[in-house]
């Protein structure tokens, strides 16, 4: 069965171009031009969402935030006509996994969509793969359930947040550059990748750390990248 894509883009021309090119990948694309109409459909069964930031009715940032509440595992790509860092960061901080700045190449869009869908396949396969849960003091990271818990309480994470945390924790104390993490977790590299990785790390810190401004697990190695440091006590 082909994957289902939810596309919310107010420009009919752009929406048609995206829809045609994603259909060429044998994907089912449902298109909305109004944010408020799309908002009422966010609980449907989809595999990936593409939201323009600027929309009539409910904007893309609110759509992103709401979808994260309903289906935290769904990959979200934000589209923006603005190249300013603030707009990009806002989209990522509201839960987007990725972004594209207009005008963009449809081949680049296809590549991003395929990469995100490919990263979701291990969760959807019928084969049972058992991987050991990682435990650090009161923090537990279970790759079989894509579940993070602390002191027995589940912490909701997006797919990309979980994959980034698990990868860093699996290689505890090893420092990875942003480019390395983008290749490993997102499956590609592009200009401005620092925004994507930085925002995902910041969201994880806000969910995991007692003091996100002074993180004990997810540490920045200035001028290099990030590492996970096992914390024996908190």
What pLDDT shows up at residue 185?
Answer: 87
CATH class in words for 4-124: alpha beta
pLDDT band, residue 109 (cuts 50/70/90): very high
Which residue in 205, 202, 198 sits closest to 176, CA to CA? Answer: 198
What pLDDT shows up at residue 102?
Answer: 87
What pLDDT shows up at residue 124?
Answer: 42
pLDDT of 233 > 60? The answer is no
- Residue 230 is given by DSSP the state -
E strand or H helix at 218, and its extent? strand 218-221
pLDDT of 219 > 70? The answer is yes
pLDDT of 148 > 80? The answer is yes
Using the structure block, give the residue that is written with the tokens 């996970």: 228
Minimum mean pLDDT among 46-50, 56-60, 66-70, 120-124: which range?
A: 120-124
What pLDDT shows up at residue 4?
Answer: 95
Span 218-233, average pLDDT: 87
Q: For residue range 153-194, what is the model confidence (pLDDT) as tens digits?
A: 999 888 889 999 999 999 999 999 988 998 888 876 655 567
Q: What fold, for 134-228?
A: Arc Repressor Mutant, subunit A (1.10.10)
Span 103-109, average pLDDT: 89
pLDDT of 28 > 90? The answer is yes
More confident position, 199 or 120: 199
What pLDDT shows up at residue 195?
Answer: 81
CA separation, residue 231 to residues 82, 169, 226 (Å): 40, 11, 15
Domain boundaries, the chain: 4-124, 134-228
What pLDDT shows up at residue 176?
Answer: 95
What number of other Cβ atoms are within 10 A of residue 210's Cβ?
11
> What is the strand order of the sheet 176-177 is part of?
176-177, 225-228, 218-221
pLDDT of 92 > 50? The answer is yes
What pLDDT shows up at residue 81?
Answer: 76
């Amino acid at each position: 069965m082909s994957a289902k894509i939810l596309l919310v883009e107010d420009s009919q021309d752009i929406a048609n171009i995206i829809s045609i090119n994603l259909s060429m990948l044998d994907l089912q694309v449902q298109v909305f031009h109004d944010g408020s109409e799309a908002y009422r459909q966010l609980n449907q069964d989809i595999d990936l969402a593409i939201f323009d930031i600027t929309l009539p009715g409910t904007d893309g940032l609110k759509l992103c935030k709401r979808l994260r509440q309903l289906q935290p595992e769904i990959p979200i790509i934000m589209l923006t006509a603005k190249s300013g860092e603030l707009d990009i960061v806002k989209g990522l901080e509201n839960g987007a996994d990725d972004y594209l700045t207009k005008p963009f190449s449809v081949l680049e869009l296809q590549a991003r969509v395929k990469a995100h869908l490919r990263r979701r396949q291990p969760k959807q396969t019928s084969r049972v793969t058992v991987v050991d849960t990682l435990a650090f003091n009161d923090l537990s990271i279970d790759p079989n359930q894509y579940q993070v818990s602390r002191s027995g309480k589940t912490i909701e994470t997006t797919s990309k947040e979980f994959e980034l945390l698990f990868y860093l924790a699996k290689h505890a104390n090893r420092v990875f550059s942003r480019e390395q993490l983008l290749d490993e977790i997102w499956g590609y590299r592009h200009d401005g990748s620092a925004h994507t990785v930085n925002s995902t790390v910041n969201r994880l810190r806000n969910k995991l750390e007692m003091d996100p401004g002074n993180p004990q697990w997810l540490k920045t190695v200035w001028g290099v990248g990030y590492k996970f440091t096992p914390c024996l006590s908190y």
